[in-house]
């Protein structure tokens, strides 16, 4: 089974406000873009992924992520994360009605294609499935098999809300890179310990040089 991924991305200047203690307003947008680039590049390198649609209104991110091979879908609803994801999933299904669809966060800079493949293979057994984040409170990935709506419920406590919605929680080991989203400085340190992609590594090195 080959999946279409829907990846939501806020305008860079507004994204990742919780990272402000680790990265000032002047440098955070570049770091957020690097996370998204490494996430999209790793997703496109996964054999279980047919294509990637990024839902964003950010012009610079749109250009950079299109250059990597993603399709860009404007955030037409402009009504927050779940509306953006539902819109992206609809846009995908309008083109490919039989496509299995997965929502994936754009803040997974350590994402490894093999681990993403393992998660998607496990998810293929269920109508809807999800993977909890490293903090075990949120969600990094939600899937919908052909014929099933995504029904995203991301945001605070989304692990419990996705479970309550009937999606099956994937209890997999050794998929840390798919769980490690980056909201805070501590999350960024955890992602660096797992090993981040090349754009994030460069962006973090620039951050450290500025601090000296
Ligand atoms: N297109 C779109 N993406 C969104 C929106 N809100 C959040 N996202 C994306 O959804 C994913 C998960 O969101 P969060 O982890 O809460 O990220 P965030 O909102 O940038 O972080 P904070 O500002 O710290 O709350 C990230 O990839 C965000 O860029 C939205 O309104 N539209
Ligand atoms: C949007 C979510 O992530 P975060 O905790 O990164 O805001 C979520 O877990 O549903």
Is 177 marked as binding a ligand?
no
pTM: 0.97
Helices (H), the chain: 28-44, 59-68, 81-95, 113-123, 158-164, 176-179, 185-194, 198-211
When pLDDT is cut at 50, 70 and 90, the band that residue 131 belongs to is very high
Q: Is the CB of 139 under 6 A from ligand 2?
A: yes
Ligand 2 probe mutation, 6, 16, 17, 181, most atoms within 8 A of CB: 181
Q: Is the CB of 82 under 6 A from ligand 2?
A: no
Percentages of the chain per state (helix, strand, coil), in multiples of 5: 45, 15, 40
**Quick one: DSSP state of residue 17?**
G
How far, in Å, is the centroid of ligand 2 from the Cα of 133? 8
Q: Quick one: average pLDDT of 102-110?
A: 98
- In the chain, where are the structural domains located? 3-211
Note the pLDDT of residue 183.
96
Q: Quick one: average pLDDT of 180-189?
A: 96
Q: Which helix (H) or strand (E) holds 8?
A: strand 3-8
CATH class of 3-211: alpha beta
Q: Is the pLDDT of residue 212 over 70?
A: no
Q: Quick one: average pLDDT of 130-159?
A: 98
Q: Is the CB of 140 under 6 A from ligand 1?
A: no
Note the pLDDT of residue 211.
65
Q: Is the CB of 155 under 6 A from ligand 2?
A: yes
């Amino acid at each position: 089974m080959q999946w279409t991924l829907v990846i939501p991305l806020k305008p860079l200047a507004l994204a990742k406000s919780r990272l402000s203690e680790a990265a000032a307003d002047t440098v955070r947008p570049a770091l957020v873009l690097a996370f998204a680039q490494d996430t999209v590049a790793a997703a496109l390198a996964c054999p279980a992924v047919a294509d990637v649609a990024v839902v964003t209104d950010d012009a610079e991110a749109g250009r950079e992520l299109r250059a990597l091979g993603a399709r860009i879908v404007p955030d037409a609803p402009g009504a927050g994360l779940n509306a953006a994801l539902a819109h992206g999933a609809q846009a995908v299904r309008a083109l490919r009605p039989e496509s299995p669809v997965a929502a994936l966060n754009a803040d997974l800079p350590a994402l490894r294609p093999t681990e993403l493949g393992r998660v998607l293979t496990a998810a293929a057994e269920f109508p809807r499935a999800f993977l909890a984040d490293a903090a075990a409170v949120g969600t990094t990935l939600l899937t919908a098999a052909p014929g099933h709506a995504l029904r995203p419920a991301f945001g605070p406590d989304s692990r419990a809300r996705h479970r309550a919605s009937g999606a099956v929680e994937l209890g997999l080991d050794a998929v840390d890179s798919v769980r490690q989203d980056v909201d805070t400085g501590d999350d960024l340190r955890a992602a660096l310990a797992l090993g981040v992609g090349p754009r994030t590594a460069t962006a973090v090195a620039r951050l450290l040089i500025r601090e000296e």
